[in-house]
């Protein structure tokens, strides 16, 4: 048996924050902070904050703008976090709302309805509640049967979920699986941190996978092979959790939001990811030059360029390794799926591509895909 990607979907929040807007807000906060604590800064008890700039952001990341679920709260220099009011239990949760929107598009592309699904995985870096699972709420809203589960492997959640879905299809425990990635990264980002305030955006992606027996469409991508790897590191970390309320000294802990050692991450992740991809290709006896396209995790432009160069032994062009982070920023697990969603229609029958995610953990997931465009 084989697994096939038969549809993808994308939900994009309407609010957009440009680098100019973000820098203006951040620098206003810096001015307020340095003025409020001027005496402590002069005495050496506090460090003076430095302003950010558009040039710094674009050179460090390649990001130019990002979509967010709330713009005003983020740009309010006295608040600097999104305003997301809580919802009543009978109302659809925000992540479910995003998931249903992206899933509906993916199902339309696969020529299916929610009732055709028998497995749903909500896979993302942050889930808005512990239970009931967001995936079960999505299942209810889509009128799907079978079962649903939530999964968190940070930025690699989507590729890990694709392997879980493929395994379920191959062992017969499911016929049609929805993988959905509702990422609200703005809620875990410290917009008061100069080194990371520009990194993330919000979005939701969705993928429908089907077995060979159940698929209706001939224009699909076959999941040829998957490979996962994890290696513990605290260089990307978020310590927010249910135990936080038990810590009486929580107020000044910045690590309950996203934190990272950027230089260490770059130095360690690039060889980890490029070696992982090359080992995966070697394992299935596939030469790197046979890979038509890399759909890489969208975290940092320089990182993606270097990974692609190590895989192919030469610099890659925008067609071979498309970049979407300039428009969407880092969207955690959804990044590589956005790239796949937007840049897969031009592959010819039989051509191969590789989807790869990497992030906190460290975690790396790679999925080799073959375009199939032939009569069923």
Q: Where are the beta strands (DSSP E) in 40-175?
A: 65-68, 119-123, 147-151
Exposure letters 78-88 (e unless 16+ CB within 10 A, then b): eebbbeeeeee
Total domains in the fold of the chain: 1
Locus of tokens 């696969």: 110
Residue 1 in tokens: 């048996």
Q: Is residue 151 part of a domain?
A: no
Among 206-215, 272-281, 294-303, 355-364, the minimum mean pLDDT is found in 206-215
Which domain does 270 fall in, by range? 221-373
Q: Is the pLDDT of residue 376 over 60?
A: no
Q: DSSP class of residue 92? A: P
pLDDT tens digits along 45-64: 999 999 999 999 999 999 99
pLDDT tens digits along 68-101: 999 999 999 999 999 999 999 999 999 999 999 9
Write the DSSP string, 255-316: GGS-EE-HHHHHHHHHHHHHHHHHHHHHHTT--GGGEEEEEE--S-HHHHHHHHHHHHTS--
Q: Is the pLDDT of residue 374 over 90?
A: no
Q: Is residue 236 part of a domain?
A: yes
pLDDT tens digits along 111-139: 999 999 999 999 999 999 999 999 999 99
Closest Cα partner for 365 from 126, 207, 125, 163?
163
Q: Is residue 229 part of a domain?
A: yes
pLDDT at position 236:
96
Q: Is residue 276 part of a domain?
A: yes
Q: Is residue 367 part of a domain?
A: yes
305 contacts: CB under 8 Å, gap ≥ 6? 315, 316, 321
Instruction: Give the three-class secondary structure for 331.
Output: coil
Closest Cα partner for 124 from 204, 188, 200?
204
Q: Is residue 47 part of a domain?
A: no
Residue 163 in tokens: 């392997």
Residue range 296-323: mean pLDDT, rounded: 97
Do the Cβ atoms of 268 and 274 come closer than 8 Å?
Answer: no
Closest Cα partner for 317 from 340, 334, 294?
294
pLDDT at position 195:
95
pLDDT at position 1:
65
Q: Please identify every residue annotated as catalytic.
A: 155
pLDDT tens digits along 136-145: 999 999 999 9
**Residue 205, phi-psi category: left (phi > 0), alpha (psi -120 to 50), beta (remainder):** beta
Residue 83 in tokens: 């305003």
Among 7-16, 75-84, 206-215, the minimum mean pLDDT is found in 206-215
- Give the CATH number of the domain where residue 260 resides: 3.40.47.10
Q: Is residue 249 part of a domain?
A: yes
- Which phi and psi (to 5°) does residue 89 adopt? -60, -25
pLDDT at position 320:
98
Do the Cβ atoms of 297 and 155 come closer than 8 Å?
Answer: yes
Question: What mean pLDDT, rounded, does the chain reach?
Answer: 96
Do the Cβ atoms of 323 and 329 come closer than 8 Å?
Answer: no
In the chain, % of residues over pLDDT 90: 93
pLDDT interval class at 375 (50, 70, 90): low
Q: Is residue 81 part of a domain?
A: no
Q: DSSP class of residue 358? A: E
């Amino acid at each position: 048996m084989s697994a096939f990607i038969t549809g993808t979907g994308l939900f994009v929040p309407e609010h957009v924050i440009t680098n100019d807007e973000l820098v203006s807000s951040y620098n206003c906060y810096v001015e307020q902070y340095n003025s409020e604590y001027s005496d402590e800064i002069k005495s050496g008890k506090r460090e003076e904050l430095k302003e950010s700039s558009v040039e710094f952001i674009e050179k460090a990341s390649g990001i130019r703008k990002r979509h967010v679920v709330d713009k005003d709260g983020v740009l309010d220099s006295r608040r600097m976090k999104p305003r997301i009011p809580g919802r009543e239990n009978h109302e659809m949760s925000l992540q479910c709302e995003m998931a249903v929107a992206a899933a509906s598009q993916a199902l339309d592309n696969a020529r299916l309805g929610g009732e055709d699904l028998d497995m749903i995985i909500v896979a993302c870096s942050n889930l808005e509640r512990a239970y009931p699972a967001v995936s079960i709420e999505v299942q209810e809203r889509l009128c799907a049967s079978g079962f649903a589960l939530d999964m968190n492997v940070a930025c690699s959640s989507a590729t890990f979920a694709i392997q879980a879905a493929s395994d379920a299809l191959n062992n017969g425990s499911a016929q049609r699986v929805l993988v959905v990635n509702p990422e609200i990264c703005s809620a875990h980002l410290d917009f008061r941190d100069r080194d990371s305030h520009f990194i993330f955006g919000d979005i939701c992606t969705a993928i429908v996978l089907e077995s060979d027996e159940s698929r209706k469409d001939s224009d699909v991508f076959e999941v040829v092979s998957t490979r996962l790897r994890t290696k513990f590191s605290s260089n990307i970390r978020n310590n927010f959790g249910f135990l936080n309320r038990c810590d009486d000294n929580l107020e000044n802990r910045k690590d309950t939001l996203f934190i990272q050692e950027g230089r260490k991450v770059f130095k360690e992740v690039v060889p980890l990811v490029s070696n992982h991809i090359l080992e995966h290709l070697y394992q299935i006896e596939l030469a790197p030059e046979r890979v038509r396209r890399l759909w890489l995790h969208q975290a940092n432009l320089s990182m993606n360029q270097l990974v692609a160069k190590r895989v192919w032994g030469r610099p890659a062009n925008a067609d071979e390794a498309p970049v979407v982070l300039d428009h969407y920023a880092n969207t955690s697990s959804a990044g590589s799926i956005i790239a796949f969603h937007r840049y897969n229609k031009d592959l010819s029958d039989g051509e191969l591509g590789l989807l790869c995610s990497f992030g906190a953990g460290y975690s790396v997931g790679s999925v080799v895909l073959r375009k199939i465009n032939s009569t069923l």
